[in-house]
Amino acid sequence: MTPEEEAGSFSCELVGWEEAADLSRTLAYKIRNSGYCPDIVIAIGRGGYVPARVVCDYMLHEKLTSIKIEHWGIAAEKKEKVTVVFPLSNDISDLKVLIIDDVTDTGETLKAAVDYISSLGPVEIRTGVLHHKDCSVYEPDFYAKYVEKWRWIVYPWALYEETFGFSKKVLSGEYATPGEIRKKLHDIYGFDADTGMLRDALVDLAASGKATRSGVCFKSAG
């Protein structure tokens, strides 16, 4: 289920660095055990950068590059279309490719990556993600964890911007303290924000014109 189908209220799952590393290791060994030996690993930016590097580490693989695809923004904000922003700079013709991302949500990002990479003439493409959601229209070849009940997954490499984005979502026209905002994040999204990080995010929201500040309190700029 997607955020749109959840009518504005949905759950988040916060993944810590240790869990993310464990998932990346699990993914790497599933790929290794399958016997697939890629010539090059391609990370989908931005979410796939860290998992791809860790997967390469456990596979003892040195050839890693990336492409940048835009589909999801901050705090589960979906963009109108999937776009390859930064294309591949390498020649991958006749190579065996492994594409790595963090999650298949709708699956559209991974599908767009495969379609794009296929046009460059590789001999074979396999895909891998940390989390594969059952609502995804595209099934990767490898995944570390299968997600049955939809929730928005917050990875440690995107924690601050997600704190920023979800804080903006819960701000209203009434001033609220960081403590009150933190409670809203928990009650609406199950998002247990770090107190210091939340305070910094609120300050950044005010500085960017997305919130209004009065002393230690904040409200929506709208």
Backbone angles phi, psi at 125, to 5 degrees: -130, 130
pLDDT reported for residue 75: 46
Which domains does the chain show, CATH number per domain? 15-154 (3.40.50.2020), 158-220 (1.10.10.10)
Return the percentage of the chain with pLDDT > 90, whole number: 84
Does residue 46 carry a pLDDT above 60? yes
Predicted confidence (pLDDT) per residue in 58-115, tens digit? 999 999 999 999 865 454 555 567 788 888 988 999 999 999 999 999 899 999 999 9
Find, among 88, 12, 100, the residue nearest to 56 by Cα: 100
Does residue 158 carry a pLDDT above 50? yes
Distance in angstroms (rounded) separating the CA atoms of residues 56 and 58: 6
pTM: 0.89
Does residue 45 carry a pLDDT above 50? yes
